[in-house]
């Protein structure tokens, strides 16, 4: 309500931290609201935000706006990335892509150099490896507390919390060669090399130790997906290899037969996977109550191409005819029965908070369900 007048029209895009929003309007102005310390109050940088905004990035509790002229403006919790004053001289004058962990940012400049800020031991301080980050960085991936940068020459450079993937020294030999893809859980990385081999490091229980399946990861891996504590690799022959916390998706033995055949894509909640096969079948595993068990809705999922969306503890599948099917923890998005009559057709897109879903229909209607305190009840604004 404090900024409602500024949000009446011409908003081009909205970005979010965990507790605040930032809206960019057509005229380039930025409107913020939510927890003031976590990005909801941008008054301290109002002058710097004047001018055209290209894009806004976010950590858990801070924003970083990249302007069209290349300037980077930050606000939110200072130590968690909201204060970039110590590196502003390094950020000027070049187009910049920004990546974030929970408490830090990493900016890749046009010349391939990396600039970091935020909590030092959680990714904000890259000084120990800065000599390896002066050039050629093409992409950065993050866990909650660490970063991994991929260089054009194939090298992988890591920093941040060692227990969360910030130390890759034990696998540097295996990492030599072209890296084509890096995926992360909350505290481990998995890198896919050009030949399809997978290299892992970070918290052993959360996917950093893949020794139990290493023979299956020696080649032909096409893509890797992750929950917060487990990985799932899809190989070129359609087979799926999983590792990490067994209950949270790292053990797919119970659905091994169902996973046979070509996998189109795998989706994840916090602790469960949902694989959509090319023939339209949906196969789930992981914590049963958190989305790993879809047996109660399997009859509704058969026979159509499906797009799947996730909250922390539930999934929502949009079928080709626009109908929605949900499963997982009932009060956290897994039960949409109260609004199911509004979800039988025309749903084009679904968005989620941690514990609720919002479905957008083709006729413009918005249908919500899940925890009321997390956006599951939109009756006051319908």
pLDDT tens for residues 153-164? 889 999 999 999
* Separation of alpha carbons 143 and 166, rounded Å: 9
Average pLDDT, the chain: 94
The mean pLDDT value for 296-319 works out to 93
Coil vs helix vs strand at 95: coil
Q: Which residue has the higher pLDDT, 192 or 9?
A: 192
* Separation of alpha carbons 327 and 317, rounded Å: 9
What is residue 159's predicted lDDT score, i.e. its pLDDT?
Answer: 99
* Separation of alpha carbons 12 and 62, rounded Å: 20
| Range with the poorest average pLDDT among 16-20, 91-95, 245-249, 266-270 | 91-95
E-assigned strands of 297-363? Answer: 306-310, 314-319, 324-328, 347-352, 356-361
What is residue 27's predicted lDDT score, i.e. its pLDDT?
Answer: 86
Q: Is the pLDDT of residue 322 over 90?
A: yes
What is residue 305's predicted lDDT score, i.e. its pLDDT?
Answer: 83
What is residue 303's predicted lDDT score, i.e. its pLDDT?
Answer: 74
* Separation of alpha carbons 308 and 292, rounded Å: 13
* Separation of alpha carbons 42 and 20, rounded Å: 11
Diameter over CA atoms, the chain: 60
Tokens standing for 334? Answer: 């897994």
56 membership: H or E segment, kind and range: strand 53-58
Residue pair 318/304 in contact (Cβ under 8 Å)? The answer is no
Closest by CA to 180, choosing from 196, 168, 167, is 196
Coil vs helix vs strand at 36: helix
Residue with tokens 């490091």: 201
Radius of gyration of the chain measured on its C-alpha atoms: 22
| Range with the poorest average pLDDT among 116-130, 134-148, 254-268 | 254-268
E-assigned strands of 188-301? Answer: 188-193, 198-202, 221-226, 230-235, 240-244, 263-268, 272-277, 282-286
By DSSP bridging, strand 366-370 and strand 356-361 are antiparallel
Residue pair 201/189 in contact (Cβ under 8 Å)? The answer is yes
Q: Is the pLDDT of residue 103 over 80?
A: yes
pLDDT tens sequence across 253-305: 999 999 987 899 999 999 999 999 988 899 999 999 999 999 999 999 987 78
């Amino acid at each position: 309500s404090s900024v409602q007048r500024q949000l009446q029209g011409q908003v081009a895009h909205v970005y979010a931290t965990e507790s605040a929003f930032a809206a960019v309007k057509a005229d380039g102005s930025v409107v913020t609201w939510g927890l003031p310390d976590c990005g909801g109050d941008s008054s301290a940088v109002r002058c710097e935000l004047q001018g055209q905004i290209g894009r806004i990035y976010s950590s858990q509790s801070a924003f970083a706006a990249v302007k069209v002229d290349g300037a980077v403006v930050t606000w939110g919790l200072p130590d968690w990335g909201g204060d970039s004053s110590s590196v502003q001289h390094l950020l000027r004058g070049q187009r910049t892509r920004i990546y974030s962990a929970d408490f830090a940012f990493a900016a890749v400049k046009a010349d391939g150099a990396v600039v970091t800020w935020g909590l030092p031991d959680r990714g904000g301080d890259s000084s120990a490896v800065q000599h390896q980050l002066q050039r050629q960085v093409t992409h950065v991936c993050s866990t909650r507390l660490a970063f991994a940068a991929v260089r054009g020459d194939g090298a992988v450079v890591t920093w941040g919390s060692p227990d969360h993937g910030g130390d890759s020294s034990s696998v540097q030999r295996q990492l030599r060669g072209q890296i084509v893809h890096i995926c992360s859980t909350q505290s481990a990385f998995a890198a896919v090399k050009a030949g399809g081999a997978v290299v892992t490091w970070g918290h052993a229980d959360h996917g950093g130790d893949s020794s139990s399946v290493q023979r299956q990861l020696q080649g032909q891996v096409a893509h890797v997906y992750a929950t917060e504590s487990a990985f799932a690799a899809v190989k070129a022959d359609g087979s799926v290899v999983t590792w990490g916390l067994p209950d949270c998706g790292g053990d797919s033995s119970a659905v091994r037969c169902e996973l046979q055949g070509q996998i189109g894509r795998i989706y994840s909640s916090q602790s469960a996977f949902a694989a959509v096969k090319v023939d339209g079948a949906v196969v789930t595993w992981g914590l049963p109550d958190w989305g790993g068990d879809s047996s109660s809705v399997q009859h509704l999922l058969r026979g159509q191409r499906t797009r799947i969306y996730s909250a922390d503890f539930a999934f929502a599948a949009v079928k080709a005819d626009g109908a929605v099917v949900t499963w997982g923890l009932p009060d956290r998005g897994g039960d949409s029965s109260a609004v199911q009559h509004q979800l039988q057709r025309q749903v084009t897109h679904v968005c989620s908070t941690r514990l609720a879903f919002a479905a957008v229909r083709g006729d413009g209607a918005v249908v919500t369900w899940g925890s009321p305190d997390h956006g599951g009840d939109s009756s006051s604004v319908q």
